[in-house]
Amino acid sequence: GTPFLDPMCGSGTFLIEAAMMAVNQPPGLKRTFGFQHLKSFDENLWKKIKSEALQHMKSIEFLEIYGSDMDLRAVRVTRHNLKVAGLEEVAKVMQSDFIKLEPPAAEGVLVTNPPYGQRIGEDEDLKEVYPVWAKHMKESFGGWDTYFLTADLEMPKDMRLKPSKKTPLFNGALECRLFEIKMVAGSNRKPKD
């Protein structure tokens, strides 16, 4: 598979989703559902359906799924959440600031939900760090497809990067965009004559 990285993984949601997809684990495998309390619920049929779904799962092993966060507490929470999901062997999680993080492979997919002002109250600080992130991505992540889920609709402009795709989404009640930015090695600018 393609290497996957969330450099600001928080509690690990994207890592867990990527790991579940990679091993073909059915969503909700370990939870109970309201329909299980209905009179017409057929416990044997439900067990059969779950058993068939489990047969399609791939083995749980390291699959080039990487996560990092500069906050050690977030790293610990992510590791715990991966363990609860039974996926701790699939992903590697480390503490690192994004601008110091080296790509784990020459090419891959980077998906992240970076902090943004409405969520953490640091709007102006983020406007200053966006160009730093962009510089690091240009220098280190050429060949990677990057995706940023953010409520900051000006983020690509502030990063001085042009998204190849903008997908409107909601993160809870917050209007967001999923910005796809294809990273190329070096600079896109033509040399001046």
128-175 residue pLDDT tens: 888 999 999 999 999 999 999 999 999 999 999 999 999 999 988 989
**Structural domains in the chain, sorted by start:** 4-182 (3.40.50.150)
Give the whole-angstrom CA distance, residue 184 versus residue 139. Answer: 9
Strand locations in the chain (E): 4-6, 65-69, 91-95, 108-112, 144-150, 165-171, 174-182
Give the whole-angstrom CA distance, residue 69 versus residue 75. Answer: 6
The whole-model pTM stands at 0.84
- At residue 60 the predicted structure's pLDDT band, cuts being 50, 70 and 90, is confident
Read off the pLDDT of residues 103-141 as tens digits, 9 standing for 90 and up.
999 999 999 999 865 444 455 677 788 899 999 999 999
Please list the residues that pair with 81 across neighbouring strands.
Answer: none
Sequence-distant (≥ 6) Cβ neighbours of residue 152 within 8 angstroms: 116, 117, 118, 123, 126, 158
Give the whole-angstrom CA distance, residue 186 versus residue 167. Answer: 26
Amino acid at 34: G
